Chains A and B, each alone.
Chain A
Amino acid sequence: MPLSTDETGPQWRRRTAREDVLSWFGWATGLAVVGGCFFLISEKTIWEFVWSAPREAADLGARMVPPDWSYSSQLWRPLWDTFNIATLGTGLALVISVPVAFCAARNTTPSTAIARPLALFVIASSRSINSLIWALLLVVIVGPGVFAGVLAIALRSIGFCGKLLYEAIEEIDVPPVEAVTATGASSGQVLTYGVVPQVMTAFAGISVFRWDINIRESTILGLVGAGGIGLQLSASINNLDWSRVAVILLAILGTVIVSEWLSAKVRGALS
């Protein structure tokens, strides 16, 4: 705590003078950068459209109410597809990410020279591309539909699950592994009896966590043609059929809330 002395005695101050200057300088730089960004964005914005937003919103709201409830009977199939995209995608990702994670973890990798960097590369490249971009790519390759969606979700989730899982593997307790090794177990047995039981809970938690995220993601994949309820959504938006859009949004809202509740419940039971 820096102190300065004046005629009334010692005064407590939060920072030294040097820290004060540095802090002001930091704030000024930050403000300049953000201000510059706002300016550049506003250059590219047609402000009349922005100012008319409240009117637009009111108009949109009026068109959405009342929702076209009769349309909801046609939504079960797209919702089932959405659920399948998320679930099968997560399943496929888990199947692939387990060996990748074991190769990436420092304590279980078969070789630090080849397998580990390769596994880390798979994880990093899968993580840095969003599932919507994967979907964009896959729709061109395998054609529009549910299959592209499943693959897009899986490709994005491999990195996520692989990363969390290999971190869990690296954090395991060493003594049980040593104890199993000391009995003369083969490396496969060490894995199944020493390592796997320790990361099982983490594995289950990670899968449910990612599944929940994937439900949310799979609702939009249809916008680029990769199946699920997003297809209906983009069709209704293109037809300016806002009372149907309202029903679809409510269906998405319900699905997301249920999946979040379920995932929280399962994760609560695991811990």
Chain B
Amino acid sequence: MTDHVSDGLVEPSQRTWAPPRLIPNARLRWFIALAIGLYLAAAFGTLDINWERVAEGWPRAQRFFSGFVPPDFLSRQGAILDGLLESLWMTAAATALGVLLSIPIAIGGARNASPLPIYMACRAVMALSRTFHEVLIAIFFVKLFGFGPFAGMATLTLATVGFYAKLLAEDIEAIDRSQAEAIRSTGASWLQWLDYAIRPQVRPRAIGLAVYRLDINFRESAIIGIVGAGGIGATLNTAFDRYEFDTAAAILLIIIVIVMAAEYASGAIRRRVQ
């Protein structure tokens, strides 16, 4: 508490009180405020915005949003269904494959389960697969594997490894050590130790994370199609390119509904398992 006047000589009515600050150091606080001010000045000074074009946007926005009433689910029905199914296959296959690949990497990346060289190697794999945005990886996989859902699946698998292996490794490191020691003291081999000491302890979290990642992978599958990696994103991009806003609106609505349903379902499943 910063009592500005703390000697008892002042009349209580003249005492002031201020709530504690987030950054207690006044000098640092002023420095950060000044830096933010300077930055904003620099940013707005160099921001290259074509306000005339922005002003023209209003009728376009109206046209776009009028596409939502009513959205056109039917005239590109086939393409939408195709893209949607592709997204779902990609999501399921990539999550399964990614989790499968993640498990050995996670065990290797847990300090209490692996020697230092393996730990370093596995941590490097995790860091590398997390650095670049999924879309950038998708660009390269499309280049390597050709257009279509295979490139998408490969992208999502890699992204899953970066996410799942890291969180699972942290979970393995956070287990209750006494149980692990008890199993070890029975003379269990390393594999038996993994099966009876680690597996039961991380299982609920592992399932929860897999379900969570399934949900994320569907969201991502909706965008990597924009660079050619299959799925509903490709259909959406085509609709935008053709200025078919009513179809684009329909696709967006479908994505929103599925994402919300997936989020709700994954939340419910995670609450039950954990």
Q: How far is the CB of B235 from chain A (nearest CB, A)?
A: 12
Asked if B89 and A40 make an inter-chain contact with CB atoms under 8 angstroms apart, the answer reads yes
Of the residues B54, B88, B153, contact of A143 by C-beta under 8 Å: B54
Residue of A nearest to B88 (CB): A37
Asked if A42 and B150 make an inter-chain contact with CB atoms under 8 angstroms apart, the answer reads yes
Whether A84 contacts B47 in the complex (CB less than 8 A), given A44-B148, A147-B54, A253-B131, comes out as: yes
A53 contacts B by Cβ under 8 Å:
yes
Asked if B20 and A197 make an inter-chain contact with CB atoms under 8 angstroms apart, the answer reads yes
A33 contacts B by Cβ under 8 Å:
yes
Residue of B nearest to A151 (CB): B54
Asked if B39 and A49 make an inter-chain contact with CB atoms under 8 angstroms apart, the answer reads no
Interface of B is mostly: helix
**A57: B residues at CB distance < 8 A:** 144
Q: How far is the CB of A81 from chain B (nearest CB, A)?
A: 8
Whether A133 contacts B43 in the complex (CB less than 8 A), given A128-B255, A141-B57, A216-B133, comes out as: no
B30 contacts A by Cβ under 8 Å:
no
Residue of B nearest to A31 (CB): B96
Of the residues B54, B143, B256, contact of A56 by C-beta under 8 Å: B143
Asked if A252 and B60 make an inter-chain contact with CB atoms under 8 angstroms apart, the answer reads no
Listed residue (A140, A192, A217) with the most chain B CB atoms within 10 angstroms of its CB? A140
Asked if A147 and B149 make an inter-chain contact with CB atoms under 8 angstroms apart, the answer reads no
Asked if B222 and A130 make an inter-chain contact with CB atoms under 8 angstroms apart, the answer reads yes
**B64: A residues at CB distance < 8 A:** 137, 140-141
Of the residues B143, B150, B223, contact of A41 by C-beta under 8 Å: B150
Residue of B nearest to A233 (CB): B136
Residue of A nearest to B195 (CB): A14
Whether A143 contacts B96 in the complex (CB less than 8 A), given A49-B146, A132-B135, A224-B226, comes out as: no
Interface of A is mostly: helix
From 233 to 271 in chain A, residues with beta carbon under 8 angstroms from any chain B beta carbon are 233, 237, 249, 252-253, 256-257
Of the residues A41, A56, A129, contact of B153 by C-beta under 8 Å: A41
**B38: A residues at CB distance < 8 A:** none
**B9: A residues at CB distance < 8 A:** none
A193 contacts B by Cβ under 8 Å:
yes
How many A-B residue pairs have C-beta atoms within 8 angstroms? Tell me: 144
Of the residues A60, A88, A142, A219, contact of B53 by C-beta under 8 Å: A142
Q: How far is the CB of B164 from chain A (nearest CB, A)?
A: 16
Interface residues on chain B, number (Cβ under 8 Å): 59
Chain B positions 213 through 250: 1 when the CB is less than 8 Å from some CB of chain A, otherwise 0: 00000011011001100100100110010010000000
From 198 to 237 in chain A, residues with beta carbon under 8 angstroms from any chain B beta carbon are 200-201, 204, 216-217, 219-220, 223-224, 233, 237
Cα A195 to Cα B91 with chains together (Å): 41
A66 contacts B by Cβ under 8 Å:
no
Residue of B nearest to A84 (CB): B43
**A24: B residues at CB distance < 8 A:** none
Of the residues A49, A81, A128, A197, contact of B259 by C-beta under 8 Å: A128
The size bracket of the interface on A is 35 or more
A34 contacts B by Cβ under 8 Å:
yes
Cα A216 to Cα B255 with chains together (Å): 23
Cα A37 to Cα B218 with chains together (Å): 14
Asked if B240 and A140 make an inter-chain contact with CB atoms under 8 angstroms apart, the answer reads yes
Cα A253 to Cα B136 with chains together (Å): 11
Chain A positions 139 through 158: 1 when the CB is less than 8 Å from some CB of chain B, otherwise 0: 01111011100000000000
**B85: A residues at CB distance < 8 A:** 40
**A38: B residues at CB distance < 8 A:** 93
Whether A34 contacts B92 in the complex (CB less than 8 A), given A128-B260, A197-B19, comes out as: yes
A69 contacts B by Cβ under 8 Å:
no
Asked if B139 and A128 make an inter-chain contact with CB atoms under 8 angstroms apart, the answer reads no
B50 contacts A by Cβ under 8 Å:
yes
Whether A130 contacts B219 in the complex (CB less than 8 A), given A34-B93, A136-B240, comes out as: yes
A74 contacts B by Cβ under 8 Å:
no
Cα A219 to Cα B135 with chains together (Å): 10
B11 contacts A by Cβ under 8 Å:
no
Asked if B223 and A133 make an inter-chain contact with CB atoms under 8 angstroms apart, the answer reads yes
> What are 13 of the A-B contact pairs (CB < 8 Å)?
A37-B89, A41-B93, A49-B146, A60-B140, A60-B144, A132-B135, A137-B240, A140-B243, A146-B48, A220-B133, A252-B132, A252-B136, A256-B132
Known: A41-B153, A128-B263. 15 other contacts (CB 8 A): A34-B96, A37-B93, A44-B86, A45-B146, A45-B148, A45-B150, A129-B255, A133-B236, A136-B226, A136-B237, A137-B240, A140-B60, A141-B60, A143-B53, A219-B133
